Each structure stands twice: as C-alpha cells, then as structure tokens.
C-alpha cells in the first residue's frame, strides 16, 4: 500500500517543490492518462462523468421535447424508447453512481485523511480505465442500433427484443468493476491511512459517508454483475433462466436486479448526504449537530439498503407476505434519512450562516430531498403504491431524490472544492443565480410529474391521453429552464478557470485537513506537518482580508504559507 | 373493545373486505396478527374531515369500493408530509433569515452540538409515524389483494399490445365490461412479455406476467367508462396498449353479455367482421383509414398484391388472410416488423370468416358494387338498437 504512494512521489520528483502543483507536475497526455495521483484521477473522472451527464441530459431534453404533444412530435416510438433507455442507463451507471465517490471522493478522501494518496493507487487508476472502457461500450451501443429495454432490463422483454442489449449489459458489467475497485480502495484507505490522532469518530462525516457507500459498492455490485451475465447467457445461448418460454422465471430477474439496484440508490445518495453534512457545518460556522447520529445513520442506511429491494415489486406478483415484509422494512430506511435532515437544521440553528454558492446548493438539496424523501412514504405504503407504481409519480420521486438530491449535492461539492481542485475562485453572484435557475426549473419539471402520475399517467409512454398535455408541456418547459440553469452553473466554473481570482488556501474556513493543503495541492498533497483538529471546530481560524481566506489563529502553528 | 365497534361502522356489511377471511391471511400467521391491528377505526374517524378536501387535484375520480379508502391513506400521508415539509422548510427559512452572516469571518456563538433528548425525540416520532403509515397501507392492501369468494371471474390476457377479456360464457372482448356493485376478480396472464394492468379510477394495478397467473379484484361503484392502461413497459406499442372498462348499471350486465355474445349472428357478416377487428384488438396495429401503422392498413388490402419479405408476391385472398391471422409469421409483408401474435384459439372459424367479409367490404377489389349496396340497405333493419348503443362505445 505505502509502496504505491511512495512511487507516485518518486515519479515526479523532478517537477516538485518549485511552486509546482499537481496540475503542472508532469506534462503531456501520458502524464495524465497513466498517473497514479488520486487528484488527477479524480479530475479525469470529473471530466468524463460530466461529459456523460451532458450526454444523458441531451437525451432527457429530447425525451421531454417529444412529450410536448400527446402524439408524435420529433421522433418515432422506437426512437423514443431508445432515448429514455439511454437517458436512464447513462445517468444511472455513468453519472450518478460514480459521480460523487469517484470524482469528488477520489480527490478529497486522501486529502481529508492528510494522506499522500489512496492506499491502492494502481487499483485506482485501473478503476478509471475500466470506467472509460465501460462508458465507451455504452456509447458504442447507440451506434450498434441502440437499446430499447429501459435501464432496468426487465426480462423477458430484454432477452427477446432487438438491439445491442448484450453490448450495453456487458458495459454495465464492466462499469461494475470500476465501482467495486473504488469501493475496495476507499475501505482500505479509511482503515489503514488515517493519521495518528484521527480515530473513527474524529473523521469528517464525508468520510463516513464514503465508507458506508464503499461497503455497498463492494457487497452489492457483484450481484448485478451476475445478473447481467445471466441475461447475456439467456440472450446469446438460449439458457432459460428468466424467460418462461425457456422455462425461466421473469420475476426472479427483478429480485436479482433490485437486490443490487436498490442498494445502488444509496450508493448515489449517501455520499451526497456526506457532502451536505460538511457544507452545512462549514457555512453555519458551527460544529455539526449530532455528529455520532449522522455517522451511525450512514451505516444504518447502508445496512437497511440491503433489506428493501422488494418494494420495487409490490405489484409484480411476488407473494403477499413478501410484499408486507418489504413494505415494513422500507419504512426503516426513512428514519436515518429523517435524522440527518433534523441534524442539519439543528446545525444551522444559532449559526452564522454564510450564503456562499456551495451553501445555496446545500439548502436547495434540503428542500428538494425533503420532497423526494417524503414522497417515498406514499410509495412505501402498500395501498397507495398499488395506484402510484410505474406512474409519473415514481418518476418524479426518484428525480427529486437522485437529481434534486445527488446531482445538487454533486454541484454543491464541485463548487465547494473547486478552489482546492483548480486554485481559482468563481463568481459567487453568478454561481447563486445558476443555483436559483436550476431550483426553479427543477421544480417546474418534476412537480408537475407528481400530479399527472397520481392522476393516472403511466411512465415510459410515447403517446399519452390529451388530458395530461398541460402537465407534460409544463414539465418540458421546466426542463429547458433547468438546462439553462445547468449551463449557467457550468459557465461560471469555466469562466473561473480563465479569469478567476487565485484561490486562497482556505476560502470557506473549513477545518478538515484538505484546507491545509495549497490551492491547488502540490503533487504529494502536503509539505509541512499537519495540524490535526476536530473537523468541525472553527474557533482556531480567522478571516484574513489580505489573503481573502481563513488562516489559523496562531501563526506559530500555521502549516504553510503561499 | 371500541375498536370492534368502529370496525363494524367502517365495514357495515362488507364481509369480503375483511382481510382475515382471505386466503393469504390464513396461510400466513404473521399477516393474521397484523390484520388484527385495526386501523379501520382511524380511517373511519378521519374520513369525514378528508372528504371535504379538494381531492380532485391529486386523484382521478373514485369508481370502486376501494378508491375512497386508498385516497384516504393517500391524504393521511399527504398531510403528514405537508406538515413535516412545512416544518423543515419553515425552520430552514427562519434560520437563514435570523442567523444569516453578512460579514466574513463571523463566528457562531457557542451552542450545544449534541442533545440526547432531542435526538431520541426526532428518531422516535418518525418511527411511530412510519409504523402508523405502514399499518394503514397494509390493511388496505390486504383488502385489494384478497378477492372475495363470490367474485365474478374474468380471465385477462395481455399481449403486445392489446388486452383480451374472457367472460364465463367464452365471449372475448378487448375492452373490459363489468357489472356495478359486484366484486370482480381478474385472473391474468401474458402471452409474451410482462405487462401491467392499471385502472386508475379503481386504484388497482397488477403486473401481468408470462408463465404465471396474477390476480386482482375490485368492486365498481359508478356506472360509466374509465381508462384501462398498460403500465409495464412492453415495447413499440406500449403507450397504445390502452383500453377502457365499462361499468354496467346493476342488472344490465348479464343482458349486455348475452346480446353481445350473440350479436355476430344477428348482423351482416361484414359488419360482424368490423366489430370483431375492433373488439379483438386488430385496430391497435392495423388502421381502418388507409394509413400504415405497426401493421398494414385494412383498407384496400383484400384482392391486392402483397410484397413479402422473402421476395414472394401474393394476392391477399381468403386463404392468405386466414393464414395471416392464425400463423402470422408465415407470410410477412415487407416493410413491417414480425411482431403479430397468433390468433389461433382466440378467434373461432366463423369469426375469421366474418373478418374476411369485412376486409372485402373495405377494399375496392372486394365484393361487386351490387353486393355492397345490398349489404348497406340491409344494415339498419338488421341492427337492433340496444346492440348499436353497445357497439358505439368502442
């Protein structure tokens, strides 16, 4: 483990120590593509993931545009089916699952531990390469005729339809390994590389969240791998596992699929909650309220996440007993989520709340995730789920949690750590404008979907009854506003790279260790000995006008100067 | 105790709705125990208040015995959610306004960062509410999942992209007809992929799975016509896999069923055929206005040359049509996907003959002018008014 870390330091020794940072240490494409530096791998992940997000977003806009009228608008039914399949598959497997852990987590986790790198840098690089290969396979499936199964690949439709189903399920198989590698790496790193003095309960909550996420990634993803291999076996070799025409059971597929894919939504949301826990404390200038409760709730969510998959199958034909047990267990997952929200609010109570852009996104998160979480109650409850299942109500619910939750937290995290990643400050005014446009666009897009879903609009419909047109038009217009907001948010960051002011070491006054590294950090992260404090103690720092950032109160202990 | 009293108010005479009578609870002791927790009393208490709410904003019209109950659960959860959301966002807004810091470097005054009492409280309250919501939803669900023993059974088959409903007398329709105020049990299966039958006005939904039977039941209460949809994605025509359910007034259903089952023998063959192509779901894929759809149009089909995928060219005569209905993969017309399911066993020989007669009448190479003119003049006389009103709903 430590060998890997040492190698990275040797690798660039020549470039180091003279005002070089990790971005300038080593030049040329090769120095990026084969780097073992967790920060560079994180940045490459970030770029690739954002590209996947753009692609998935374009598909989403095409889908929404098609739905502007009750009949055909811009594409055929078959093209529409391929569009929503690709939108779902790309957003899920290429964007949301790796989003926060692989991009932000890779960059932040070792820095938060005061370490030089992750424990297994080569595995880390392999994870990125595998991610790229898997993503290319997914994109190639578009050229190979597309896939029209929906991202859930339900059998026997997925084993009998035309299209590049084998290619896209293989890509899911490959992407799964990227996810497993990241998970193993984070578990080992958190166990083995905490600095002296940082016990489990001195860790930043982001690390608890990433750790809980990693456990799910390692334990659940292999089940998905097996499931997609079985689909491929059935399609390619005619082995009857799921298709009743071959002697299989289609409901078995749903059990396998959701055994992974329900924990997977916690792979998506847990790191988001970790980001929000950090941000709410820092921008309230106050220790996080109920540290242990938040830490334990992350683990509780990870454990409960394995026990609730059957709630995707209340009307599937599984036994009534199973349905009732899964409903009861599903409610258990709402408790730790609620606890987190109450802790965040209590952290804000009597704080000194700074409405910097990352905090604005964090507040947007609490609002949208609140709706996403509470609407989950309707779907966990059996009587109402029977009516709402597979309707737009469900579509709205998971977009509120996955997009309103995870994507917003991802943006919050990007804005928060941007100065650390690239050493540049962005325009807070435009950053906040972007957040507000996203907030408005998001609600117009998805709240209308709750209403039409409850009224009887099924999901995945190309044509729809005319009485739903008003809601669909509203939703589509909202999606354009949302897209404008996202372009503003991206523009702000791109502009900062070109014309942003130089970022101080600690622009927001964070007390976690990454804010003691230079902005951007040097290749091996830290030069001088670190000052380990409580990650939520903000009393040992003050605002420095000249620096335009926070500096330690006692200059004797100042770890480094610019 | 008093729960028992409330239960009898809630379910005055409706034996069937008690889940303890159902098979599922007999098999599973756990469900039996849960079923004893009587929440009917809670529902009965809150319903008068909820009834005054503008519920039309969220839910479609209520047309089954279970709809009001499901909506009550919905609105209980809804108001709990609104309450908690208001608290969360209200506090958040209050704190932002009250504690906003406009000066860099400002420090928050010391305040406790932990409170066991508070944390136990806000864990316990959601736990209690969750259990209550679970039991509410569970009770209603057991009612939906457990058909009463005296239910009227209709067999349902889903296939890409249409529904078939078979009544006890063997009559098959593509639209569901049910009597008012009588429990109806649907026993369902699929010919191909998974479908899901949803009747929003009844608040029922159940997947229709190949290789096994699933079931659901309802008791319709308002005569009328309501949408029935497929809500499990099943391919190209998924969003066209629509039908309707017609609720017949008490006492008129049996009469409708008898007349409809016999109607093909009482009207001219071409008209019987036209009814059949509509009722058997042919029109989901084959248009009657000349435009191509998932399959070729029925207009000007009979007597014309058909270019097949294997290069042959055949004239669409009686035997070609019969083969296409019974063995759709034998003669595939070029330009269309091979997606048509077989109708062997679904249409009787006589019915196929009627459909051929209709296709002749829809083609300018069909019967001679005289014949069709003759058929038209016979029309009004042969049709009895009741049957006409039944068919016009299609």
Question: Tell me: the pLDDT tens digits for A391-434?
Answer: 999 999 999 999 999 999 999 999 999 999 999 999 999 999 99
Q: Inspect the interface and report whether the beta carbons of A161 and B235 lie closer than 8 Å.
A: yes
Q: What's the confidence (pLDDT) of residue A54?
A: 96
Q: What's the confidence (pLDDT) of residue B381?
A: 42
Look-up of token digits 């809670």: B42
**Rounded Cα gap, residues B230 and A456, in angstroms:** 11
Task: Flag whether pLDDT at A332 surpasses 60.
Answer: yes
In a domain, A471, yes or no: yes
Interface contacts (A, B; CB < 8 Å)? 274
In a domain, A405, yes or no: yes
A110 versus B260: the higher-pLDDT residue is A110
Please list, in sequence order, all residues whose beta carbon lies within 8 angstroms of the beta carbon of residue A228, skipping any fewer than 6 positions away: A153, A169, A170, A172, A173
**Buried-state track B14-53, b at ≥16 Cβ within 10 A, e below 16:** eebbbbeebebbeebeebeebbeebbbbbbbeebeebeee
Torsion sign (Cα): A293, A296, A302, A307: negative
The residue of chain A with its CA nearest to that of B104 is A543
Mean pLDDT of chain A: 90
**Buried-state track A236-275, b at ≥16 Cβ within 10 A, e below 16:** eeeebbbbbeeebbbbebbbbbbbbbbbbbbbbbbbbbbb
| Chain B hits for A244, Cβ within 8 Å | 210-212
Pick from A70, A85, A317, A336 the residue to mutate for testing the B interface (most B CBs within 10 Å): A317
The residue of chain A with its CA nearest to that of B35 is A324
Q: How far is CA B21 from CA B26, B31, B42, in A?
A: 8, 12, 21
DSSP per-residue codes, A484-537: HHHHHHHHHHHHHHHHPPBP-S-SS---SGGGGS-SSPBTTB-SS------TT-
The partner residue sitting opposite A390, judged by closest CB among B109, B141, B196, is B196
| Residue B198, CB-side half-sphere exposure with 13 Å CA sphere | 29
The partner residue sitting opposite A458, judged by closest CB among B57, B139, B198, is B198
| Chain A hits for B237, Cβ within 8 Å | 77
First-to-last C-alpha distance (Å) of chain A: 31
Question: Which domains can be identified in chain B, with CATH numbers?
Answer: 2-95+118-145 (no CATH), 152-256 (2.60.40.420), 267-392 (1.10.760.10)
**Containing structural domain, residue A260:** 2-557
Query: CATH number for the domain including A540?
Result: 1.20.210.10
Q: What's the confidence (pLDDT) of residue A2?
A: 37
User: Mean per-residue pLDDT for B129-157?
Assistant: 88
In a domain, A562, yes or no: no
- Structural contact between residues A186 and A214, judged by C-beta atoms closer than 8 angstroms: yes
Which pLDDT band holds residue B140 (cuts at 50, 70, 90)? confident
Q: Inspect the interface and report whether the beta carbons of A285 and B107 lie closer than 8 Å.
A: yes
Please report the ipTM that was assigned to this predicted complex.
0.90
The residue of chain B with its CA nearest to that of A456 is B200
Question: Tell me: the pLDDT tens digits for B259-292?
Answer: 888 777 778 888 888 888 887 778 888 888 888 8
Q: What's the confidence (pLDDT) of residue B13?
A: 37
| Chain B hits for A146, Cβ within 8 Å | none
- Please state, for a pLDDT cut of 90, what percent of chain A lies above it: 79
In a domain, A349, yes or no: yes
Which pLDDT band holds residue B386 (cuts at 50, 70, 90)? very low
| Chain B hits for A148, Cβ within 8 Å | 235
Helix (H) or strand (E) holding A205: helix A205-237
| Residue A13, CB-side half-sphere exposure with 13 Å CA sphere | 6
Å from A118 to nearest chain B CA?
A: 31
The partner residue sitting opposite A363, judged by closest CB among B80, B92, B108, is B92
The residue of chain A with its CA nearest to that of B56 is A455
Residues 179-198 of B with CB under 8 A from A: 192-194, 196, 198
Three-class SS of residue B179?
strand
Mean pLDDT of chain B: 80
User: Mean per-residue pLDDT for B183-210?
Assistant: 94
Helix (H) or strand (E) holding A172: helix A165-192
Q: Inspect the interface and report whether the beta carbons of A456 and B60 lie closer than 8 Å.
A: yes
Q: Inspect the interface and report whether the beta carbons of A384 and B77 lie closer than 8 Å.
A: yes
In a domain, A276, yes or no: yes
Å from B134 to nearest chain A CA?
A: 6
Three-class SS of residue A367?
helix
Q: And the tokens for A304? A: 């409960």
Å from A373 to nearest chain B CA?
A: 9
Q: How far is CA A15 from CA A27, A279, A522, in A?
A: 10, 34, 10
**Rounded Cα gap, residues A322 and A307, in angstroms:** 11
The residue of chain A with its CA nearest to that of B231 is A458
Q: What's the confidence (pLDDT) of residue B284?
A: 80
Q: What's the confidence (pLDDT) of residue B29?
A: 57
**Rounded Cα gap, residues A454 and A432, in angstroms:** 33
The total number of structural domains in chain A stands at 1
Task: Flag whether pLDDT at B36 surpasses 80.
Answer: no
User: Mean per-residue pLDDT for B36-50?
Assistant: 54
């Amino acid at each position: 483990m430590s060998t890997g870390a040492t190698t990275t330091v040797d690798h660039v020794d020549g470039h180091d120590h003279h005002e070089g940072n990790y971005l300038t240490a080593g030049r040329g494409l090769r120095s990026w593509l084969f780097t073992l530096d967790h920060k560079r791998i994180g940045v490459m992940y970030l770029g690739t993931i954002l590209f996947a997000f753009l692609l998935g977003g374009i598909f989403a806009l095409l889908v929404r545009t098609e739905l502007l009228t009750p009949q055909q608008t811009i594409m055929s039914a078959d093209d529409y089916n391929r569009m929503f399949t690709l939108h779902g598959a790309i957003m899920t497997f290429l964007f949301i699952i790796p989003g926060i852990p692989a991009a932000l987590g890779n960059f932040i986790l070792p820095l938060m531990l005061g370490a030089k790198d992750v424990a297994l840098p080569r595995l880390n690089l392999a994870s990125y390469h595998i991610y790229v290969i898997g993503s290319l396979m997914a994109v190639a499936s578009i050229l190979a005729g597309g896939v029209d199964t929906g991202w859930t690949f339900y059998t026997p439709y997925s084993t009998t339809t035309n299209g590049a189903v084998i290619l896209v399920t293989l890509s899911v198989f490959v992407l799964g390994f990227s996810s497993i590698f990241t998970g193993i790496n984070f578990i080992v790193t958190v166990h083995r590389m905490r600095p002296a003095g940082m016990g489990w309960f001195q860790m930043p909550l982001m690390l608890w969240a990433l750790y809980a996420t990693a456990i799910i990634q390692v334990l659940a993803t292999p089940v998905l791998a097996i499931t997609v291999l079985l689909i491929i076996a059935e399609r390619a070799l005619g082995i009857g596992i799921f298709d009743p025409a071959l002697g299989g059971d289609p409901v078995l597929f749903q059990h396998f699929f959701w055994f992974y894919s329900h924990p997977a939504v916690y792979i998506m949301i847990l790191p988001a909650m970790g980001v929000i826990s950090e941000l709410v404390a820092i921008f309230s200038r106050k220790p996080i309220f109920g540290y242990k409760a938040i830490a334990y709730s992350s683990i509780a969510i990870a454990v409960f996440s394995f026990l609730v998959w059957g709630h995707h199958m209340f009307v599937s034909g599984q036994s009534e007993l199973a349905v009732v047990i899964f409903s009861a267990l599903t409610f258990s997952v709402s408790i730790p989520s609620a606890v987190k929200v109450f802790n965040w609010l209590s952290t804000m109570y009597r704080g000194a709340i700074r409405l910097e852009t990352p905090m604005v996104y964090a507040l947007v998160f609490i609002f949208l995730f609140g709706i996403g979480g509470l609407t989950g109650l309707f779907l966990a409850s059996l009587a109402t789920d029977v009516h709402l299942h597979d309707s737009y109500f469900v579509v709205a619910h998971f977009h509120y949690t996955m997009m309103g939750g995870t994507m917003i937290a991802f943006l919050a995290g990007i804005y928060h750590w941007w100065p650390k990643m690239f050493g540049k400050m962005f325009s807070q005014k435009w950053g906040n404008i972007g957040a507000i446009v996203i907030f408005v666009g998001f609600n117009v897009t998805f709240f209308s979907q709750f209403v039409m879903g409850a009224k009887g609009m099924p999901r995945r419909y190309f044509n729809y009854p005319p009485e739903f047109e008003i809601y669909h038009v509203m939703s589509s217009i909202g999606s354009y506003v949302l897209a404008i907001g996202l372009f503003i948010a991206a523009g702000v960051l791109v502009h900062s790279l070109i014309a942003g002011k130089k970022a101080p070491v600690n622009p927001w006054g964070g007390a976690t260790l990454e804010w003691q590294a230079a902005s951007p950090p040097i290749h091996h992260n830290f030069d001088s000995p670190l000052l380990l404090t409580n990650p939520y103690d903000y009393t040992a720092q003050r605002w420095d006008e000249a620096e335009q950032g926070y500096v330690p109160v006692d200059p004797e202990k100042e770890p480094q100067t610019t | 105790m008093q729960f028992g009293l409330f239960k009898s108010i809630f379910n005055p005479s409706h034996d069937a709705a008690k889940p303890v009578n159902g098979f599922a609870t007999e098999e599973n002791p756990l469900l039996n125990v849960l079923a004893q927790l009587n929440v009917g009393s809670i529902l009965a208490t809150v319903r008068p208040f909820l009834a005054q709410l503008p519920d039309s904003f969220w839910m479609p019209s209520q047309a089954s015995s279970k709809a009001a109950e499901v909506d009550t659960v919905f609105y209980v959860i809804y108001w709990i959610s609104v309450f908690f959301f208001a608290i969360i966002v209200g506090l958040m807004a209050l704190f932002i306004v009250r504690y906003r810091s406009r000066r860099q470097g400002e420090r928050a005054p010391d305040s406790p960062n932990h409170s066991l009492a508070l944390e136990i409280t806000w864990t316990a309250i959601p736990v209690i509410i969750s259990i209550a919501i679970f039991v509410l939803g569970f009770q209603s669900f057991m009612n939906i999942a457990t058909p009463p023993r005296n239910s009227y059974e209709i067999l349902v088959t889903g296939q890409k992209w249409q529904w078939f409903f078979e009544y006890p007398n063997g009559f098959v329709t593509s639209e569901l007809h049910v009597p008012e105020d009588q429990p109806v049990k649907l026993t369902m299966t699929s010919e191909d992929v998974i479908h899901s039958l949803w009747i929003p006005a009844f608040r029922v939904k159940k997947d229709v799975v190949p290789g096994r039977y699933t079931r659901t039941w309802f008791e319709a209460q308002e005569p009328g016509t309501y949408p029935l949809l497929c809500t499990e994605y099943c391919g190209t025509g998924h969003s066209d896999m629509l039908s309707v359910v017609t609720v017949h007034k008490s006492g008129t259903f049996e009469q409708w069923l008898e007349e409809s089952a016999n109607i093909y023998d009482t009207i001219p063959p071409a008209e019987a055929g036209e009814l059949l192509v509509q009722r058997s779901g042919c029109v989901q894929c084959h248009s009657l206005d000349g435009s191509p759809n998932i399959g070729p149009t029925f207009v000007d089909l009979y007597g014309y040359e058909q270019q097949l995928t294997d290069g042959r060219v055949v004239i669409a005569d009686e035997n070609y049509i019969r083969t296409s209905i019974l063995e759709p993969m034998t003669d595939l017309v070029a330009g269309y996907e091979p997606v048509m399911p077989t109708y062997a066993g679904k249409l009787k020989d006589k019915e196929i003959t009627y459909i051929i007669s209709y296709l002749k009448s829809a083609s300018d190479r069909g019967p001679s002018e005289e014949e069709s003119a003759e058929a038209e003049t016979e029309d009004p006389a042969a049709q009895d008014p009741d049957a006409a009103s039944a068919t016009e709903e299609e």
